[in-house]
Structure formats: C-alpha cells, structure tokens
Structure 1
Amino acid sequence: MDFSLMDGKVECGVSLSIKLKGELFNLMKNADERIETFLYEDHEELFINLYFSKFSNNLGKYNFILSHRNLKESESFFTISAKIENPTHFDFVKKILNFPSVIVAGTFMKRDTLFILYRYHENYKEEMNSLLNLYIVEHEGIAISEIRKSYSFRDRMMRINKLFPLAVLQTSSKYISNKLISYIYKNSPGFVAELEGRGLTSDGVRALIYSNRNLNFKGLIEISRNQNIYEARHYESLFVERRRLANMERIPRIAILFSVKDDRAYITSFLPVEEMDNYMRIYSKTVNKESSYEPNIEVLSKMREDIWNWLE
C-alpha cells in the first residue's frame, strides 16, 4: 500500500471541544481524566460510547458512573453508550462528520466536555471557518481547542499506539464488481481509500480517495484536482454489516483503509488490541454468510514499526 499517496494532503488539523448536556454527561463532571470515546452517526441518530479500562488504577473513582443503566462489560472495558439528543450538538457534530474531506482522528472526554480531533483539506478552509464561527459565536460551550498541521497517517497511528495499544487487521476478498470502484481501479490501480466509518447514510459511508491521476466519474466529488483527491459514498453489504455489529458491540475503529490489488479487495482496520478478539468474531460471522467472497486474513498483528512493510 502506497501511504505516500495520502501523506501531506489532507492536513488541516482541528481539535474542537463541546460541553455536553444530559444525564450521563452531568455525571461525567467529576471525571477529570481523559476517557476515550467513539462517536458515530447511524441513520439520523448520533451516539457516543465511553470506554473505562478495567485495568485502570483509578477505576474505583468512577463507581458513580459505572452504575449507569447502559453499562456493558467486555474483556477489557466497561462501556457506556448514550444518544446525543441536544439539537445544537446533534446538528453541529453531524455537519462536521459529513463535511467534505473531513476524517475524524479521535474523540475523548474530560469531565462533561467532548473533544473531537479531525482533519480536512485546505481547499475547504473558508467553508470550515464559516461553520465553526457560526456555532462558536451563537452557542456557548462550543470552542476550538487547537488548529495545526496534521501528522502523516503512519505517525498518527504510532502516536495513538502510545496512548493505548493498537492492533492491525488486514483482510482481503474477491473483488465484486462495482462501477465506481472499477473505474477508479482501472484508471488508478494503486489508489487508497480512507473510510470515515463513523457516519452512515442510505448511500453508505464516506470515503476519501487518493489517486495517482485525475479522475472523472459520476459519484466522485472533487476535493483537490491538483492532488488527485476525491470523495464518494461507498456501500458494500459486508462492510456495512460489520460496521453495524461492531457498533452494537461498542468496538471503536481508529482508522479503516480500502484498496484493490490483483482483483482482490483489501480492508485494513486499526483498533485497540483489547477489542481484536471480539472484532475477529464479527469478521468471521459476516464472511461466513458469503463464501463467494473467498475471504482471507492477510495481516493480524499488534502495532509495530515494521507493520507498514506487510500491508498490501
């Protein structure tokens, strides 16, 4: 996989803070440590999952939160899921998730404040500034924490790995013909797509497509013609089903990449090490439904320096 196609192209980095309101978030006012979260949209509804490590030395101080009715226990985490229903927050976050070229790098909470880290392309800087200014001026509790250049994809994953250990899963399957993907594959065989799997509409998930040449096809939105970056909606039944099951099991996905090589489709997922076994069960459950896909596991490993040499 040619990561150089991605690096240095969508690099406007933003960190937003949103003071959330509601029963769960009122309880979080006393949580002064960083709590990892996973934020996602699902057919006009917005959800947030909070993750409390079972191995934390300070877990006892959160007993008042861990008695919440939406608590779920996994091998390594206690998770609480909540719907974001405040109209302002719902509308604002949905606009961020669906903004052209935006890819969310991570989310976490401190006390009752949600932090969203994302990147977008500089061609949309004027539109992004207008959106942020509108909400910051009119709504107390929404603020910009940081604006800076984003790190390369490789550096971002390695930096996150220092916060909490990551695992990498790359799977491949027989490429099932799709007009849009076939056009991209034919005209830019080495393309890489970065899926923003936190959002889902009836058209599928948003994908940023990094090409090595200009593309022109119905369904492609031009993000940067000079840099050969495009955006499209991608709907593939196995991926969408896997996403649904992972959300049900409250498994966060840090990043998801898609590519095609030698008539096989590759999906590369980065997620917390502690969730890999559970995610593998979901993977097995979905591929067993479609033997015609000829699924293979290409790479399954904890994050390490040489992992980048293994990925197709």
Structure 2
Amino acid sequence: MSILLRAYGKTPHALILDTNILINLLSPSEYDNKDFLTLTMGSTFFGEIIIPQQVLDEWNYQKDKIDAIHYGSIDKNVSEINKFINKLPSKSGKDETDLMLKNLSKLARRSYEYNYAIRKQQIDDLIRREATIIETRNRYIDKSVIDFFIKKDSRPFFTTEGKSGKNEASDALIFFGIVDFMNKHRKDYEKAIFVSSNTNEFSERGNPTKLHSNLEDYFSELDIEFTNNLRSAFKYFELDKSKHQMDMDLFKSAKENEVYLTDDYFIPCQNKDCDNEVHINMDTWVKYNKYYYICRKCKHTWDSGDSIEDSLY
C-alpha cells in the first residue's frame, strides 16, 4: 500500500513486527477485532508492514502449534468442570449438565476457530500481499551480531537471564536486520516503529515499553521508535482522524460478515475419513460461478449446489 500512498504524495510509515506480535494476534486475550482489522486492512492509512526474515521463519514454524494450545485449554476447563458434574446427586442432573457442557465446549471451540484461528490465513495473506520482508543474514548483519556478542556487556541478547534456554542469536539477527534495512531505507519512511512484546528479548528489564539501554543508540541514530503493543504503534502514527472513518467502514463490514456458531450453520465434511465440520458461510470458495465447500482439516472440497447467479434472481 505504500505505493498508493506515495502516488498521492504521502510518505508511508514503517510498522516493523516481531514474531510474538503475530502470535498474539491469535490469542483471544490480546488483540480484539478492532486492532486486527486496523492492522490487516488499515495499512492504507499508515504504509508498510515490515517483517524480518527471521520473524517470518519463526511465524511459519509456530503458527500451527497455537491451535493445539488453545484447544487444550478448552479441554482442560471442560475436564475440571466434569469433576464437579460427577458429584451431582441425581443421574438426570448429571446427564443434563453433561449435555450442556458438551454444547458449550463445542461452541467454545467453534468460537476460537472462526474468530482467532482463522486469522492465521488472513495474516499469511497480508504478509504475501503487502508486507516487505527484510533479510536477517548478510555480511553486515553477521558481523554486527558477532561484534555485539564479544562486548563485555552483551545484554539483552547473549545472556541466560530470563531466557529459559532460548536462542538469543535469533533476536540479535532480527534487531540488526532492522538496523541494516533502515540504514539503507530510513529516508523512505515518515515514522518507523518496532513492536515486540517479549520482555526478555529487546526491552529493559522491568520496563517492557522501553528499549534496552544497550540497543538505544542503534535505534536513536535512525529515529526508530520501540513499543510492546500494536495500539501504541497506531497511536504513534497519529491515525486518529483518518482511522475514525476507517473504523466505521470496517466494523460495518465486520457486522455484515458476523460468524454464527449454532449447529444450523455447520455440516459434516463429506470426506468419509474426516470427522471435521464445515461452516456453510465461512468455509466456501467460488469456482466457475459456483460455491464450493472446503474442509479446514482435510482440505476436501465439494459442490455446495449453489451458484452466484442464484442470488441474482
């Protein structure tokens, strides 16, 4: 979208994302739809999303593991409640409560799948369509990492303090990849900000909103800001005026595409070897003017029996 902004004589901002921000977008407790839509659809208003190659590699490695974590949490909660159900005095009470719990568990899994897990594909599409991927391995970056490593005080990267065995070299590659890219291209952006929420990677211990003192000079020379939250980045870009109309348009669109999670909106996958269910609105795609269902689990597709022309008459 930066090309479009430059065509109108505007210099874009640069929003640089760490892996944990992408991962946090899949969590119900981190970023709501307003934040997500501002990122995925609002880049028209702020410019470029920049992803270091190391971040992209980590995202591709971790993204499919997040589902299991959240579904495991749902199953754990169900298991804990089941312990109390077994203590109910009457069988009828147990059966009714058990059925209610199964339905609530099903709705909880559907809610996560169609409100948050679905964001994986949207993030992938955003990265492929709009993000600028910057290299994190070249002679300058490698030398910068080595030079930093041999310093007497090489925090926050090369220390076990709070790291739990994490490979700190990957953090250093991300940081110096950003420095290398901005050394060459900082003039192409109005404002630039790096967003990372992992308190053990880039920030000062005890202050997650402040870049580590050993890293400050690198960013200050290039006028790059640091924050641990996407909302702070949007505020830094001063999007308030332009974002007001964008919010109205985006949430009108979101309301029109609201996901319904009751059984009426789900059908079984037609692959006899698959036990998954398919949402009749969300799990469709168009081919030759016909709507097809696609199973998220096994990727089996079949003709829904509906066509685009049906809505025209």
Tell me, yes or no, whether TM beats 0.5: no
When the two structures are superposed, what TM-score results if normalisation uses the length of structure 1?
0.24
Quick check: which one's strand share is greater? 1
The structure whose RCO (Cα within 8 Å, separation 6+) is larger is 1
Q: Highest Rg: 1 or 2? A: 2
Quick check: which one's helix share is greater? 2
